């Protein structure tokens, strides 16, 4: 029996009573489930164990609620929201369903997580597209030059620009709204992999001009693996070619199951919205968990979460830099997210050893591609954890000497 959950408060980890780490700083990898998330999963399983197929209507109603809540969180209408199993599948569905013309050009970015590169490479191979790579890190280190390069590429006729909202190593927050504005001025569309942003960085697809957005739910959204979200603006989704489709992609897909004989058909039109990407059975437990976590994030407010995490990282960054680490965090507030990536004093080769050493002290981090990554979320509290984290760093430095 789980204890009753207390209210969610910034800097309070009471909703994570079983979390063993002294400081859990790996939300950019996987977030541990909170008590409300765990209770939501148990409630779903309880209803399923009591009702079996009789709970089908309840599960559908839960997904409708979740689409509404995800739309509100991301600035989209619920009709523009689809539930997908993960980021990679969401990217693949969009990349393989756009109305491509031969020699259309698509731009991705060097240094990004492969989930937002590989599907576009496959689309290029399948549809005879021109695939290009630009430097993602140039937007952090040489922003004027990077934007000028993007403008030049757009002027030559890009069809789609596919970027990550937040760079997974450095934590740099890309200027996606300005990039969207420039894309639209040249007749291009913007696709955003937002898995390192949703839930911890303010984002609004309508305000910011994002045409397509995908995010898994197990990082900053604090749900479980296997449950994510895809947003496709209505005008864009209506143009999709259904290269990937399933029985739930059709309009009125449940009629033959609920209304008697005569409704089993294979020629129903496809849904002309993001919902056509819900091709089959979904992770019902995962979406029950995601609804509970979205409720927490909405109650706390993403802007408040971002400010809370920023104050944590500002203090932690100063302590690490004073100890010889190189910070990769943006010097400007506009470029900062909830990730602090640093290079160890001995270079990228030392990141994995630092990750293991800190874990032995109860400080959980991650180390993608030689970058030591610190990623706190709303339950973290620097006043409670900061001295211990930096003390663990000092202990490892003494051991090296």
Q: How confident is the model at residue 242, as a pLDDT?
A: 75
> Do 310 and 208 share a structural domain?
no
Pick from 197-211, 279-293, 350-364: least confident:
279-293
- The reply to whether 339 falls in a domain is yes
Residue 93 half-sphere exposure, CB side, CA atoms within 13 Å? 31
Contact 235, 295 (CB under 8 A): no
Give the CA angle between residues 193, 356, 37 to the nearest 5°. Answer: 50
> Do 311 and 290 share a structural domain?
no
Q: How confident is the model at residue 1, as a pLDDT?
A: 61
Q: Would you put residue 61 in left (φ > 0), alpha (ψ -120 to 50) or beta?
A: alpha
* Percentage with pLDDT > 90 across the chain: 83
> Do 314 and 252 share a structural domain?
no
> Do 281 and 355 share a structural domain?
no
> Do 324 and 246 share a structural domain?
no
Mean pLDDT, to the nearest integer, of 226-252? 86
- In terms of residue numbers, what domain contains 377? 23-33+301-400
pLDDT at 266 over 80: yes
Residue 274: pLDDT band with limits 50, 70, 90 = confident
- The reply to whether 100 falls in a domain is yes
- The reply to whether 12 falls in a domain is no
- The reply to whether 47 falls in a domain is no
Q: State the total domains in the chain.
A: 2
> Do 229 and 100 share a structural domain?
yes
Residue 278: pLDDT band with limits 50, 70, 90 = confident
> Do 235 and 314 share a structural domain?
no
Phi, psi of 351 (to 5 degrees): -60, -45
Residue 271: pLDDT band with limits 50, 70, 90 = confident
Contact 224, 289 (CB under 8 A): yes
Regarding beta strands 340-343 and 326-327, do their DSSP bridges make them parallel or antiparallel, or are they unpaired?
Answer: antiparallel
> Do 81 and 119 share a structural domain?
yes
pLDDT at 54 over 90: no
> Do 317 and 235 share a structural domain?
no
The H or E element containing residue 131 is strand 130-135
- The reply to whether 382 falls in a domain is yes
> Do 156 and 263 share a structural domain?
yes
- The reply to whether 331 falls in a domain is yes
- The reply to whether 1 falls in a domain is no
> Do 63 and 144 share a structural domain?
yes
Domain end marker among 232, 263, 297: 297
Q: What is the mean pLDDT of the chain?
A: 94
Q: Is this model's pTM higher than 0.85 or not?
A: yes
Residue 368, burial from CB neighbour count under 10 angstroms (0-12, 13-18, 19+): middle
CATH code of the domain in which 316 resides: 3.90.1150.10
> Do 241 and 216 share a structural domain?
yes
CATH code of the domain in which 97 resides: 3.40.640.10
pLDDT at 247 over 70: yes
Helices (H) and strands (E) in the chain, counts: 14, 12
The H or E element containing residue 340 is strand 340-343
- The reply to whether 4 falls in a domain is no
Phi, psi of 358 (to 5 degrees): -65, -40
Q: Which residue has the higher pLDDT, 262 or 50?
A: 50
Residue 268: pLDDT band with limits 50, 70, 90 = confident
Q: How confident is the model at residue 276, as a pLDDT?
A: 78
């Amino acid at each position: 029996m789980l204890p009753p959950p207390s209210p969610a408060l910034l800097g309070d980890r009471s909703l994570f009573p079983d979390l063993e780490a002294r400081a859990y700083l790996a939300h950019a990898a996987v977030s541990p489930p909170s008590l409300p998330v765990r209770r939501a999963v148990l409630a779903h399983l309880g209803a399923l164990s009591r009702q079996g197929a009789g709970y089908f209507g309840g599960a559908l109603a839960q997904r409708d609620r979740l689409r509404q809540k995800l739309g509100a969180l991301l600035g989209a209408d619920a009709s523009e929201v689809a539930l997908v199993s993960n980021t990679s599948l969401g990217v693949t569905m969009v990349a393989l369903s756009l109305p491509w013309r031969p020699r259309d050009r698509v731009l991705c970015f060097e240094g990004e997580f492969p989930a937002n590169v590989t599907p576009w490479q496959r689309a290029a191979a399948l549809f005879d597209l021109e695939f290009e790579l630009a430097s993602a890190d140039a937007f952090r280190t040489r922003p004027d030059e990077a934007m000028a390069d993007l403008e030049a590429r757009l002027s030559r006729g890009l069809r789609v620009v596919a970027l990550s909202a937040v760079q997974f190593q450095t934590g740099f927050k890309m200027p996606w709204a300005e990039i969207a504005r420039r894309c639209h001025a040249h007749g291009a569309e913007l696709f955003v992999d937002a898995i390192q942003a949703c839930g911890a960085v303010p984002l609004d697809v309508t305000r910011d001009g994002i045409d397509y957005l995908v995010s898994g739910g197990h990082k900053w959204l604090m749900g479980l693996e296997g449950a994510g979200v895809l947003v496709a603006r209505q005008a864009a989704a209506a143009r999709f070619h259904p290269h990937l489709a399933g029985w739930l992609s059709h309009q009125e897909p449940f009629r033959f199951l609920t209304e008697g004989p005569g409704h089993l058909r294979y020629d129903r039109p496809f849904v002309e919205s993001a919902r056509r990407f819900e091709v089959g059975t979904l992770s019902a437990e995962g979406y029950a968990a995601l609804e509970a976590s979205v409720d927490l994030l909405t109650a706390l407010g993403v802007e408040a979460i971002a400010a809370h995490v920023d104050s944590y990282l500002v203090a932690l960054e100063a302590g690490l830099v004073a100890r010889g680490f190189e910070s990769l965090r943006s010097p400007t507030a506009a470029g900062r997210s909830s990730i602090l990536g640093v290079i160890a004093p001995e270079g990228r080769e030392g990141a994995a050893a630092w990750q293991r050493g800190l874990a032995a002290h109860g400080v959980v981090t991650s180390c993608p591609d030689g970058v030591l990554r610190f990623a706190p979320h709303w339950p973290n509290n620097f006043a409670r954890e900061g001295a211990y984290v930096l003390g663990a760093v000092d202990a490892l430095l003494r051991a090296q000497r």
